[in-house]
A = this chain, B = another copy of it.
Amino acid sequence: MRTTLEEVIKRLRTAQRVLVIGHIKPDGDDISSVVSLVLILRKLGTTAEGCIADPIPWFYQSLHGVSVIKTVEELKDYQYDTSVTVDASELSRIGDAVKLLHGNPPDIAIDHHKTNTGFGRLDFCDPKYAATAMIIYEIGKQLIVYDPNLAESTLLGIATDTGFFKYANTDYKVFLYAAELLQAGADIQHIASAVLEHRTLNEIRLLTEMFNALKISEDGKLAWSFISTEMLIRNGCTEEETDGLVGEIRAIHGVEIAILFIEWPKHHVHISFRSKSYADVSGLALKFGGGGHSRAAGCSCKNVDPESLIEKVISEAAKIL
């Protein structure tokens, strides 16, 4: 049932033991939302635990509060009266943590994705928020006073989901909340350094190879590259380490659409689409079985020949330019 933030806050005030669950393939906003809500509830005197089914990428570990997050296994005997999912657009996004719900829907689902399916007993989803962390912040401000650690955890989600204050979703509220969180003691340089400055030498070698394989259309508006299974193995990189590489292609002057094809494992190709100022790439991703936003979208194609897939995708992309 769709509800208001006030109802969510009221429900959380009466909770005694809470389980907070984030989504798989955790990103900054996911981690931030789980950690922040757990810390808010604990400050309120409520017993609270946070769970994400997938491992947390290593570079987030130096940030305050991240160690709060537990695995499904660690929480399998945890007794709670209120379950909350955060930043998950559908129930399947919480992965194995669904076991902890014992077949029930979550009592509260808090999210900001346009595609949210409304699977909670109480649902609060508003895509106007640039990050779920901002919703959690509005809840937290009503309940407790922010300390530096909680402020850092919250700012992490706001920063990462706005591409560190650069994406189109960066509105005045994003900056205003960032200002408030800095006053509460958050350190944006610390967050930026942890999240953005962790490139490994293997990743640099992969980046170099990606640039060597770069193709660009005659008018310079469409640029793409292909990272093969062999390239990943040769450079000792996992698929996760290709994160952000498509942005390096979009950063080329004159490029409107950037596309990165990643083959992992053999004959499975993940495609990331990015656009710079006007092209809507979500339809492009949809055409190949994926989805996303107008400036950032993606899809996964199984059992394909990379070469002919690339040819097909590039010809479709050229059509929308």
Q: Is the CB of B164 within 8 A of A253?
A: no
Question: What residues of B have a CB within 8 angstroms of the CB of A211 in the complex?
Answer: 204-205, 207-208
Q: Is the CB of B171 within 8 A of A182?
A: yes
Q: Is the CB of B200 within 8 A of A276?
A: no
Q: Is the CB of B179 within 8 A of A59?
A: no
Question: Nearest chain B CB to A273's CB is how many angstroms away?
Answer: 16
Closest B residue to A216 by beta carbon equals B201
| Chain A contact patch, size range | 35 or more
Question: What residues of B have a CB within 8 angstroms of the CB of A251 in the complex?
Answer: 196-199
Question: Nearest chain B CB to A190's CB is how many angstroms away?
Answer: 8
Q: Is the CB of A197 within 8 A of B167?
A: no
Closest B residue to A191 by beta carbon equals B166
A56 within 8 A of B: no
A252 within 8 A of B: yes
Question: What residues of B have a CB within 8 angstroms of the CB of A222 in the complex?
Answer: none
Interface centre among A167, A175, A193, A276 (most CB of B within 10 A): A175
A180 within 8 A of B: yes
Question: What residues of B have a CB within 8 angstroms of the CB of A276 in the complex?
Answer: 193, 197
Closest B residue to A180 by beta carbon equals B172
A300 within 8 A of B: no
Q: Is the CB of B170 within 8 A of A188?
A: yes
Nearest first, the 6 closest Cβ-Cβ pairs linking A and B are A175-B179, A166-B192, A172-B182, A176-B179, A175-B178, A198-B253
